[in-house]
Structure 1
Amino acid sequence: MDGTVASKPANAVLKLNNVSRRFGITEALRDVSLAIVPGEIICLVGQSGCGKSSLLRIIAGVDTPDSGVLLLKDEEIAGPKRFVEPEARNIGFVFQDYALFPHLTAEQNVLFGLKGLPKKVARARAAEMIDRVGLYPLMKRYPHMLSGGEQQRVALARALAPSPSILLMDEPFSSLDRGLREKVRDETLALLRALGTTVIMVTHDPEEALSAGDRIVLMRKGEIVQTGTGYDLHDRPNCRYAADFFCAFNKVPGTYRDGKIETAIGNFGCEATLADGSAAIAYIRPQAISVSQENGDIPGRVTGRLFLGEVEQLTVQVEGLSEPLLVRTMVRLPAPTNTIRLTIGLESVLAFSAH
């Protein structure tokens, strides 16, 4: 487990201490500890079934932990001493399907979460939030009269209207098509940052997590594997699972010896906590391999080309390797080009145990 998980900032708005949850023989969460500071946008990521949605449900209060403690602003909201009901936690939730009431207008949907306020105050607050998400002219429309992106913004306004301590978002952009998703996501995150909202967002999309989160929490089998910035997890993964989640690596077998991994295509210096002489795997990013028709350390034969626009993906067979290398390059090689030479960026090779 990553050492940063145990860190508990003094000003944390939410603290999870050793939270566990079991469903039958399945451990959905195992001793999860995490601290989130005000205004931070956290992205929970991991493969299906890793526990990220279970964690969100426990924070929201719609499920209870079997053990461990949740503290919101240093007050226990779930644990052995106390359980605070979801509606009393002041935690907002944007659902994957938005969960708007079809028989209510956009304005009425936002007002639904403001029932405790005087009507005049509630209407003013609802109008303010609808305006902040850019939907003031559409506030009298019903959900079926709105686009997917507009419905998402109504759901956001409804969640933000009560000024929650934390906003939870469960795959909030996954139902939008790719072009619209990026636009709505950028606008939403800009608004949340402007408001200083503390956010925990579940996503299955590695690129979305890298671009959206101030900090990423990567989970596997109910545990936190690694936390850090997008740069930390992408550039310095602490295990093969973390590396594979954020990048499709070339994996070349070798032996770790004297601070280097020795492979059939060369020796690469790597910082790794591996025993000297142990079997290892060199992880090489496709974009870290340079190609040329004349210059390079490794001869190869192009067996496939996939043009992706800005980059081209080459499949290259190299002597000594049972699997071809994938190369992503912006170099435009003339077609047909069958033989090329490769150079691997030494600083970008990672080494992990083969076992």
Structure 2
Amino acid sequence: MTNTTHSVTPSFTKAILAQAELLGLKIPPLLKRAIGSISNEQRLPMALQDALWLEIEAQDHAGVMGLEIGAKLQPGHFDTLGYLVLSSPDLSAAVDALVNFSALVGEGGRFNKVSEGQGIGLYYEPTFSAAKDMRLDTILLCLLNGTRWLAGQSLLPLSVHFQRAAPAQPDVYRQAFGISDIRFEQPRNMLLFKRSDWQKIVNPANPAFRANMLALAQRQLKSLNPQDFMARAEQFLEQDPVLTREQLAKRMWISERQLNRRLADCGHSFKTLSDQVKKNHALQLLKQGPISQAALAFCLGYADESAFAKAFKRWMGMGLRAYLRHAIKEAD
């Protein structure tokens, strides 16, 4: 299935095309011309990249093309985001840039990070379906090579996780990623690093250059589909519903004023968006089993039970007790 509304940076797709041809694959001339016709100042329709990956997949008889392409991609293929990542003072800041601005490379999925056991993971949630496993092979290996380029070739993850089923040649993955702990059929597509790795100094940092790259990335992100901005804001709130307006703005690398204006452009405000997310969280928590009003208030960041009670009545048109009685009656 292809997506006709999302877009990607042309340089990334052109780099994939170049590597595919170096590997001896035959790409249809019409598709090559269509990709080549998009200048690097424009956005390339996601549908063209989907079509390219499907062509590669059809010729990937050994099931390793995703890894071979991922091993060759470089930070420069990510345009502005690549330079922003490369100008980061430490690995944690580089990953934050990737999480916040990954839509500049492509709108086919989202990066995020998560605390996981003994480490911190960088994971990717795809929304594409065309040649999915192959593309995820490329994305995760490309991510690892990028982090090693920044922090030194000695940097290795604790483990690499794939949602896909185990391939026919698992040893190829161990060789490509340089570690033995490669896991399949996992909840996330993820690189798991030691916590200490995230504080590695990777760049003496040029503050002026980084500020320019950040401003450029913000302008480019703003030019994308406004709904993508909404989805990013909502995602941050869903992960942490107690975020304040100031905290959300910092997560999205913009000022509070810019946050208010961008949300208003989408027909929302911080309050309405935060309220909707908190409402959904409250209803999900109630579905999971008995929970007190005090616990709900605490989980959702309210100052006290009274503040939560007022908010719940505003959302549902009735108080919590009345809602629970109604829910029990409906279940019967």
Question: Where on the TM-score scale, by shorter chain, does this alignment land: which range?
Answer: under 0.3
TM-score, length-scaled by structure 2: 0.26
| Greater share of residues in helix | 2
